[in-house]
Structure 1
Amino acid sequence: MSAAGEPVSLEQLRHRLAEGVPAGSSDDDSVRRQWWAALATLQEDFLLPLGAQQGVWMASPLPALHEPALLQQLQGWVWAPAELGDLLQAGSPLLPPGVSTAPARAAGGFQRLPLLEADGTDPLLLVLTPRLQVAMALLGDPGQRRLVVRFDPPTLSAALSLLDERLQHTDPKQGQRLRQAIQALGPLQSDEQLAQRFWPRLAERLAAMAPSLTLQPLVHRSAAADATAASGPSSELALLEALTHEVRTPLATIRTLIRSLLRRSDLPELVRQRLQQIDGECSEQIDRFGLIFLAAELQREPPSEDQALARTDLARLLEQLEPVWRQQLLRRSLAMELRCSPELPPVLSDPARLETVLGGLVDRFSRGLPAGAVVRLSLQPAGARLKLRFSASAAVLVEPGEAAAAERVGPVLSWNPGTGSLQLSRQATQRLFHSLGGRLAERAGNDLTVFFPVAQA
């Protein structure tokens, strides 16, 4: 406990875990990929092979474990933001109708505890079983991020002491339950070779993880932006960022396993087709939630007119992306048409970031269309700009006013009760395109246009 009588923060715990570990040099996106791979490695390669066993786990700011067998066997405690309760109430647009909102311990094997402002929102996980004990955390300033994984008993003992001190101050009853659960494990065996086996497996998994467009860093926050976000009401955005990362974690694991199966030559053709469909759905959702995360990051940035844009061949970019989008739409029984005027000049934008945001716009535009509709994209000159227009076949145009049925969910998301679709809000989408030099204009019905400035010779 601090000298002022404040409870131990989880940020203090992360720094204790990092003692003696070299400083990091990763950006946030890179270190998050390491976290996802470490979670999958820990669960699939180390915990599950141990079979049924007792144990406890502690995590923040969301449950890190996602293997059902582990959640059923182990007792858990999760320090989560208070806003999480509001977002998961019955009737919330983040939950489909009929989903139970029973206490988390009954549904997923963990007890929820309040997250304090000083705790931060970086992920943290401790797991204790009779045969394996480990602590994992992310921490560090922008550009100096790092993944810390500790197996050594002295560090784990110090971490548990800090958590016990925290619970004695904030929730003595839960502190007693945690101590009893740890004592019930009996003598703990520590494998001295565990770290030597863990890091090579983590490296193999990272190498096998196929990259996703929105796993690339699209928004780089400055120190001034971090200070602005910390001083403002950013807890909702921080929670949204954490949620999107946690959604993508199991999806990335599923996709990695599927792609390892697809390398086999003895698969029946029907099985191969089904696996390819699942792979496509996983990739689509990983990219979709990644774009939501990036929109939340951008929302926390202060407005700036200083944009680093470059000459971008938009027509060529659209032609390169057309097969990917066509396949994506085909899974929803939608068709696609692309028409580009000849000899179009380049525009000012950022091709790497634009590729991702345009993919998100295709998803957002097509999500409410019925099967059989045709998504039409056209690119043509419009004075000193190029006009990229999205439209749908006339038979499925919605009536004026239907587009306004979407309800905003915070500063980034909107929710359409009629279709059950959760997507980026119009304001968040406009800001994304503004950061890329574009201007989004959305009319009533299925019709929207993005204008990009033509690059000077």
Structure 2
Amino acid sequence: MSGTGLHFEELRQRLAAERPTGRCDEASVRRLWWAALETLQQDLLIPEDVQSGLWLAAPLPALYEPQLLGCLHGWVWAPEELGQLLPVAAALPGTGSAVAHPSGRSYRRLALHPDDCRDPLLILITPQLQLALALQGLEGRRQLLISSDPTTLGDILALIGRQLQEQDPAMADQLQDDLRQLGPLHTDETLPQRFWPQLAERLTTMAPSITLQTPTSSSQRESDPQDDLGLLEALSHEVRTPLATIRTLVRSLVRRRDLPAVVMKRLRQIDVECSEQIDRFGLIFHAAELQRQPQPSNLARTDLAQILESLEPAWTNQLERRGIQLKLNLEAGLPLVLSDPRRLEPMLGGLIDRASRGLPSGSGLTLLLSAAGARLKLQMLVNPPSREGAPPERTGQEHSQTEQVGAVLSWDPSTGSLQLSQQATRRLLASLGGRYREREDRNLTVFFPVATETG
């Protein structure tokens, strides 16, 4: 990237004008930022089925939901050192170049001013929703800034336009054209009534930020189970967030045609690994959340057979990388079950990982789905590798003893891996309508209730 880059400090000062000084520390204000992004995407944009608009962000893409990245045009001002810190980012196009998203939309990457702070900022303009979000303030006086006032947004966009005109006139004209196509700025009078209560609800379910302190007394050294669960939730959230950003950057590169085949292969591997770990830590987060704050089940009619068929190709590729073969055997004409399809898919992936983790190359995993009275029975059967003329090899897992780590995790000494404990797995599946059984030979069985016509 070339040029002096865009400077956003004046923009933050405009947002903070006539507002009292913040009183948050760094950890608290970051929680506010992530809760605001989740509220914006999950509670406001996706339910509105937004199909057009643009977003401007610094110093990294703030939006991370694929369906939003696929339909909104993005402008990202990133620091020069991004290319030095992340080898993948070094392949990103330079100033003003478009980075393609797999769904066809794109975002443009431009230079951030070298002296600008690295506090996050997001400006969103769509026909339905228009606002600016930013973090601002010194340590101990941090705050989340938000504005949907057309006058303020107009001033901010005009400021960006003037600075961009000095940096890259062609890009400034392009931004003006994009804004012009969206029509005049307007006020949504209902936004404060919708945004702040939903943000507060998300904050009540988010774990407190992680702080490391040295105990000063014996009473402080005793661990509170609720604190442990909060820490686990926070860790899961903090791991998933950068992985989602990395995956977004990687997917923007996969669409390019000028990268060597070996680079494309590695990028796809990174995408798959990020997705698997995002799902894995998502399960850990939900298990801790369910343990700390039980929630009522919200089950619906679900086609379990169709879900298994749709996920089979991804599972096959995942297991083949480790030399494990997957077989899917579905009984014909199976009825629907009662479950939560949105959360069931990652849970099934977690069961695949649980059953196959530590298996040697040459093993097999068979999935059987069949009727069992008023339930459907899903079995995951492990087939260890065998040598001709010799009895089947033991996988070393038949009698392995796992050690409990906190309320929801267990550690398997034979593989050195952390996984959900049987109790946590059973509780998660129960919230999805399933009844879970695991045998010592690692074979799993889950029963799901059949949905009645009125169920």
Correspondence 1:442 to 2:438:
yes
The equivalent of 1:246 in structure 2 is 238
Q: Which amino acid aligns with 1:419?
A: T
CA distance, structure 2, for counterparts of residue 12 and residue 275 of structure 1: 32
How far off is 1:278 after superposition?
A: 2.1
The equivalent of 1:260 in structure 2 is 252
Correspondence 1:410 to 2:406:
yes
How far off is 1:321 after superposition?
A: 0.8
Q: Counterparts in 2 of 1:388-407, with a 5 A limit?
A: 388-394=378-384, 395=392, 398=395, 402-403=399-400, 405-407=401-403
RMSD of aligned Cα (Å): 4.5
Q: Which amino acid aligns with 1:332?
A: R
CA gap 1:280/1:455 in 2 versus in 1, 3 angstroms: same
Q: Residue 374 of structure 1 is aligned with which of 346, 364, 371?
A: 364
CA gap 1:297/1:329 in 2 versus in 1, 3 angstroms: same
How far off is 1:47 after superposition?
A: 6.5
Deviation per CA, 1:18-70: give whole Å up to 9, x if none: 9xxxx969549849x9xxx866349x965732799xxxxxxxxxxxxx9589x
Question: Where in structure 1 are there 5+ consecutive unaligned residues?
Answer: 1-7, 53-65, 70-128, 138-145, 164-191, 205-219
Q: Residue 48 of structure 1 is aligned with which of 73, 79, 95?
A: 79
How far off is 1:224 after superposition?
A: 13
Q: Residue 276 of structure 2 is aligned with which of 279, 284, 298?
A: 284
Q: Which amino acid aligns with 1:149?
A: A
Correspondence 1:10 to 2:25:
yes
Aligned 8 A contact 2:434 2:447 in 1: yes
TM-score (norm 2): 0.56
Q: Which amino acid aligns with 1:249?
A: T
**DSSP 3-state at the match of 1:133:** coil
Aligned 8 A contact 1:370 1:396 in 2: no
- Over alpha carbons, which structure has the higher Rg? 2
Aligned 8 A contact 1:225 1:301 in 2: no
CA distance, structure 2, for counterparts of residue 195 and residue 440 of structure 1: 61
The equivalent of 1:309 in structure 2 is 299
**DSSP 3-state at the match of 1:234:** helix
Q: Which amino acid aligns with 1:329?
A: L
How far off is 1:375 after superposition?
A: 0.8
CA distance, structure 2, for counterparts of residue 196 and residue 367 of structure 1: 53
Deviation per CA, 1:376-413: give whole Å up to 9, x if none: 1000111211110011114355468624x211111111
CA gap 1:244/1:40 in 2 versus in 1, 3 angstroms: farther
Aligned 8 A contact 2:58 2:76 in 1: no
Q: Which amino acid aligns with 1:40?
A: L
The equivalent of 1:150 in structure 2 is 135
Correspondence 1:431 to 2:415:
no
CA gap 1:285/1:147 in 2 versus in 1, 3 angstroms: farther
Give the fraction of aligned pairs with identical amino acids, expressed as a percent: 48
TM-score (norm 1): 0.56
How far off is 1:320 after superposition?
A: 0.9
Q: How many residues align?
A: 306
Deviation per CA, 1:259-297: give whole Å up to 9, x if none: 222112233333322322222112111211122112111
**DSSP 3-state at the match of 1:333:** coil
CA gap 1:343/1:50 in 2 versus in 1, 3 angstroms: closer
CA gap 1:396/1:455 in 2 versus in 1, 3 angstroms: farther
How far off is 1:150 after superposition?
A: 3.3
Correspondence 1:453 to 2:449:
yes
Deviation per CA, 1:345-374: give whole Å up to 9, x if none: 111111111112111111121112111111
The structure that is helix-richer by fraction is 1
The equivalent of 1:133 in structure 2 is 117
CA distance, structure 2, for counterparts of residue 242 and residue 195 of structure 1: 40
CA distance, structure 1, for counterparts of residue 433 and residue 265 of structure 2: 39
How far off is 1:14 after superposition?
A: 4.0
